[in-house]
Amino acid sequence: GQNIDQPTEMTATEGAIVQINCTYQTSGFNGLFWYQQHAGEAPTFLSYNVLDGLEEKGRFSSFLSRSKGYSYLLLKELQMKDSASYLCAVRDRDDNFNKFYFGSGTKLNVKP
């Protein structure tokens, strides 16, 4: 099976930077995704990594190290609206079909 671990909850201050870590173990790694989920809403796609390194999209960046089974999501210039759960998901390829495994999510609380 796949194991995906991320912290349960984090708190940060508006305007600051926060890093949410994710570690994973998978047999057929084919990409790592980060999703944002506001309370009561569906997850929405934030970022994607398949190769090692940093991917930047505005205030959000995501990093991947495949050899270490490690990723992080970096949120800069935090805003109150960034308060949400952040889900780390691994795409696993089996017989040419993709399957997604999700972590339990990290609840981020942004304080004024």
Residues forming contacts to other proteins in the complex (CB under 8 A) are: 4, 30-31, 33, 41-45, 48, 50, 87, 89, 93-94, 96-105, 107
Smaller CB separation from other proteins, 58 or 95: 95
Smaller CB separation from other proteins, 45 or 59: 45
Least distance (Å) from other proteins to the CB of residue 22? 11
Helix (H, G, I), strand (E, B) or coil at 72: strand
Cα→Cα distances 59→19, 24, 85, 98, 111, Å: 12, 24, 16, 29, 18
Smaller CB separation from other proteins, 69 or 103: 103
Cα→Cα distances 38→43, 94, 111, Å: 7, 31, 16
